[in-house]
A = this chain, B = another copy of it.
Amino acid sequence: MATLAQVAQHAGVSASTVSYVLSGKRTISTATRLRVEQSIRELGYHPNAGARALASSRSNIIALMVPLRTDMYVPVMMEIAVAVATTARTHGYDVLLLTGEEGPDAVRRVTGSGLADAMILMDVELDDERLPLLRGTDQPSVLIGLPADTSGLTCVDLDFEATGALCVDHLAMLGHRDIAVIGEAPAVYERHTGFAERTLDGLRSRAGKLGVRVLHRPCGGGYDAMSVTLARILDERPGTSGFVVQNEQAVEPLLALLRRQGLAVPEDVSVVAVCPDQVAVQASVRLTSVSIPAQEMGRHAVERLVAKLDGRGTDDVVLIAPELTVRTSTGPAPTAAS
């Protein structure tokens, strides 16, 4: 490969001039700039990443740590990852893909080696063991998700509390007084990822204000688990007319089982989902839903990070406001008469 020195020679200028043409950190006369650019093109020059990183102590790489688990929220994760990668590129950064597997060691490795300038962590747990490391380093980072203690950290996430409230608002407005919440698998709650609890908090506190009753049941994906869960709900609260589902795997089973019970959606029962739009529109009933704005979260995270790298930017929490899209799975609560 051609080197900067060769470009300099070819263009009849010094190495630093070429460097400054590349970085734009110095004003260069148009004449020389054009000449240099011409040489760059002719020689097919690409700056060497290693040399650049060494000399500038900047790798122009952002590390993205994704959960190893490929069982939950996969499309969301992927969408975030892709959004991160494309947004990063527009700011001149590449993305290094780390799996959660290595845990805190990966953080140490990346910060220690200067492999990446900054990092984005997904799937953050309430009491994540990587957080102390992040607080203890000057390497900028952004979390996608919300830990219990956000002090000294920058976080981006959907406002799940508002999400819960929004779901209740919508159902209450339609006259539903008994709502069942189908939550994530018990394992998700045990992992203390927080978002499920936050939704529930929002759901409950708004329901309290509006005089709506809420029954919450975690539920693994699949038909069998859903079948048991639904039976218990209808047994315990026969008057349930509204459902909120926050579990991609449970959506289709719920709809199928309701059908089997002779409960029509939205005539007999209404269903609101918290899921990616794609899931909502491809379900067997087009679902009224609060979407999970994966792209926006990825984009936001990168932009926060770049701001920090540029010396702007602060530690804070960005909660994205939820948006509820009404589709055909919700309607007025059936009156007692019917």
Chain A residues in contact with chain B, CB under 8 A?
A: 1, 44-54, 57, 59, 61, 64, 66, 68, 70-71, 74-75, 77-79, 81-82, 85-86, 89, 94-99, 101-102, 108-109, 112-115, 221-223, 249, 252-253, 256, 278, 281-282, 284
Residues of B within 8 A of A53 (CB): 49-50, 53-54
Contact A222 B86 (CB under 8 A): no
A50, B221: Cβ atoms under 8 Å? no
Complex Cα distance, B248 from A109, in Å, reads 38
A contact patch SS? helix
Q: A49-B59, A50-B50, A96-B94 are in contact. Are A74 and B78 (CB under 8 A)?
A: yes
Which of A50, A98, A278 gathers most chain B CB within 10 Å?
Answer: A50
Chain B contacts of A95 at CB under 8 A?
A: 96-97
Copies in the complex: 2
User: In the bound complex, how far is the Cα of B44 from the Cα of A93, in angstroms?
Assistant: 27
Is the beta-carbon distance between A256 and B284 smaller than 8 angstroms? Answer: yes
A68 CA to B98 CA in the complex, in Å?
A: 19
Give the nearest-CB partner of A111 in chain B.
B46
Hey, which chain B residues are within 8 Å of A108, CB to CB? 46
Task: Chain B residues near A70: list those with CB within 8 A.
Answer: 75, 78-79, 82
**Minimal Cβ-Cβ distance residue in B for A58:** B50
Identify which of B47, B68, B85, B253 contacts A86 (C-beta below 8 A): B68
Contact of A112 among B46, B85, B109 (CB under 8 A): B46
A256: chain B residues at CB < 8 Å are 256, 284
Smallest CB separation, A285 vs chain B (Å): 9
**Interface pairs (30), CB distance under 8 Å:** A1-B114, A44-B112, A48-B113, A48-B114, A50-B54, A64-B97, A66-B82, A70-B75, A70-B78, A70-B79, A70-B82, A71-B278, A74-B75, A74-B78, A78-B81, A81-B97, A82-B99, A85-B97, A89-B99, A89-B101, A89-B102, A94-B97, A94-B98, A94-B115, A95-B97, A97-B97, A222-B282, A223-B284, A252-B252, A256-B284
A71: nearest residue on chain B (CB-CB)?
B278
A317 to chain B, nearest CB (A): 26
Residue among A49, A57, A222 with the most chain B CB within 10 A? A49
CB atoms of A114 and B252 under 8 A apart? no
Complex Cα–Cα for A259 and B109 (A): 54
- Are A282 and B249 in contact (CB-based, < 8 A)? yes
Which residue of B has the minimal Cβ distance to A59?
B50
Question: Which of A48, A68, A71, A222 has the most CB atoms of chain B within a 10 A radius of its CB?
Answer: A48
Do residues B82 and A46 form an inter-chain contact, with CB atoms below 8 A? no
Q: What is the bound-complex CA distance between A115 and B75, given in angstroms?
A: 28
**What residues of B have a CB within 8 angstroms of the CB of A102 in the complex?**
89
Q: How far is the CB of A291 from chain B (nearest CB, A)?
A: 14
Distance to closest chain B CB from A137 (angstroms): 10
A96 to B95, CA, bound (A): 6
In the complex, the chain B residue whose C-beta lies closest to that of A75 is B74
A46 to B223, CA, bound (A): 49
